[in-house]
Structure 1
């Protein structure tokens, strides 16, 4: 688990030029949250008269919700505002819209930043990735679960709905001693319950549920695509813990997804992921400026839109070649070789869980 003293939890360690600018942050917050509420409400109202219009507005609301999540992501790094408490409170409110309990998600995400690319610490806040040797050592039923988990239909379809609508509702995924994280799940659940009860009593609940499901699917699917391509690359940075470094993880193991500027603006420059991992205290609206002024434009694992889609063919990490590959062929006769898997990959034995949680201190 991360501690508040971790180096990416407070923007005050940055030079003033790269710290959050309150006015810009407030404008983003009001603009994007307002746009989301208007589109979601418009979809609900329009759906009573036009299915096509209601669905179109719900899809737009889902796209805008991705940007709302980017704002929550900045709050998780305490980079949207200069005061940590302001970030935590705003992040909690945004979590009611994104369905991601803020304190819990923040804890997992900071572990991800401290361990991305570390072969000995995989699975917390990550897309679960096995080595080829680990995959071949699995039982047939375990290999099938892993194959299903890595299938694009699960990663972009079933998985996001499971993660955001079901798993994030379960306080039991957090150890009892982690009070703030458990409370964030409970508070989010109570707020969602209140909203649904309001529609049950005062509105058309089935129509609202349909809008809610469609918005969540669009937002979570887009979000998982963006998250997947940030580190799932053909020549990744995977090293044992003793060799791991923050700079190596950022510049050699994080993608530089080259998007049209309009999409980069829409997604809060999260495509410049190598810069974000190097300096997570920098708010989204300063990431491009930081990249250009510090000569980082040619750093990171460069991908285009086409390469980002082809990345879904990557399934396991081959330690022998240092590359991500498809599934390796399983020998016809195989005595399962001994293998020591990273304990955080699958602590409960269920690969169907999109994310895992541990009490590990950063």
Structure 2
């Protein structure tokens, strides 16, 4: 299925009473929500081994990614050292290394969901190492990300890139007009500022429900103070190690070999995260219309072409949202069984990634503000003029 052709059976858009009106939201009370299978019914169609991570296999991927990252670094280091115009290869290095950093993040993401191993202490240690290396505060992001999974597709409780009610935005603005106003302008930067938007989100969250991932006293982290504090200490240590590297090789080397690839990784995360949950005809629900299965099915599978397997199938997202315990190396297999058993629930977009991101960003910016009584919302595929 291509863009705008995702899941007609859930909302029954063939019914004449279902429509997107001129204000771009579904008419309240006019939608027939079709019954969905339970989580148990979906799980029964997937082989049991898909839900069992093994330490050896997970660590194998860590080892392979680490080797690739080291070899990529050494190759660029010696090219730049021994060839007069070696620096011209840096853009290729940044792309390759940024892609590999994304693969590290995905492994740390498995840790955060307990799908790296069956031991939480192993997951948290490895997750801290993997995420800290790419400048992500592991435990705070783990907590906020799990909040996203608990509320996927919920207009009023999801974590990021959700459509925003006018009242919620106005209330937040009235509390702190200057600061929140500045936040709103930041997220209206072209394409979220790509990698800049990712680090902005870590510090300020996504208005009007901001979360500072570096504040261990934020209410979201109150029950996780030890884990959050440990991650922030590791984060500080990483900055110290980067300082030592810069002292030995120079800040230009630090920026060229590590920080720019980290920025490329951050661009990947903005694009991937946005496209996993944002597409025309994919519904968002208010609390009284939302349930877990319905929310998790409001996700989209996409293929990332030549980097899809390198980033550990991060674009294969529906099965991950239904069952976070499925490790990345079983997600494709589990997805095949899911699609075979429930073809009417599949959301799969074949459009090329960057054109899809550009198209949906324009639609998102234009249509994301909702009236306060909207219960079910969908973006519509009206033509968006280039700006």
Whether the 8 Å CA contact 1:76–1:106 is kept in 2: the answer is yes
**Residues 1:127 and 2:171 are matched in the alignment:** no
Aligned to 2:62: 29
In structure 2, do the counterparts of structure 1 residues 284 and 265 end up closer, same or farther at CA, with 3 Å as the change threshold? Answer: same
Residue from 97, 102, 108 that aligns with 1:72: 108
In structure 2, do the counterparts of structure 1 residues 169 and 235 end up closer, same or farther at CA, with 3 Å as the change threshold? Answer: closer
* Secondary structure of the structure 1 residue equivalent to 2:67: helix
1-structure distance, mates of 2:267, 2:281: 24
Q: TM-score, normalised by structure 2?
A: 0.70
Residues 294-309 of structure 1 aligned to structure 2 (within 5 Å): 294=338, 295=340, 296=342, 299-303=345-349, 304-305=351-352, 306-309=355-358
Q: Deviations over 1:303-339 (max 9, x none)?
A: 2224344111122055488322699xxxxxxxxxxxx
Residue from 189, 193, 196 that aligns with 1:158: 196
Residues 1-362 of structure 1 aligned to structure 2 (within 5 Å): 15-44=48-77, 46-48=79-81, 50-122=86-158, 124=159, 126-131=160-165, 146=184, 148-163=186-201, 170-171=214-215, 174-175=218-219, 177=222, 178-251=224-297, 253-260=298-305, 262-294=306-338, 295=340, 296=342, 299-303=345-349, 304-305=351-352, 306-313=355-362, 314-315=364-365, 316=368, 318=370, 319=374, 322-324=377-379
What is the total number of aligned residue pairs between the two structures? Answer: 311
Whether the 8 Å CA contact 1:171–1:186 is kept in 2: the answer is no
Unpaired segments ≥5 residues, structure 2: 1-38, 40-46, 206-211, 383-387
Structure number with greater Rg is: 2
2-structure distance, mates of 1:196, 1:17: 38
Aligned to 2:5: none
Q: How big is the shift at 1:44? A: 4.7
Q: How big is the shift at 1:181? A: 4.2
Q: TM-score, normalised by structure 1?
A: 0.74
Which piece of structure 1 moves more, 137-146 or 158-167? 137-146
* Secondary structure of the structure 2 residue equivalent to 1:265: coil
2-structure distance, mates of 1:317, 1:258: 29
Whether the 8 Å CA contact 1:160–1:220 is kept in 2: the answer is yes
* Secondary structure of the structure 2 residue equivalent to 1:242: coil
**RMSD, aligned CA:** 3.3
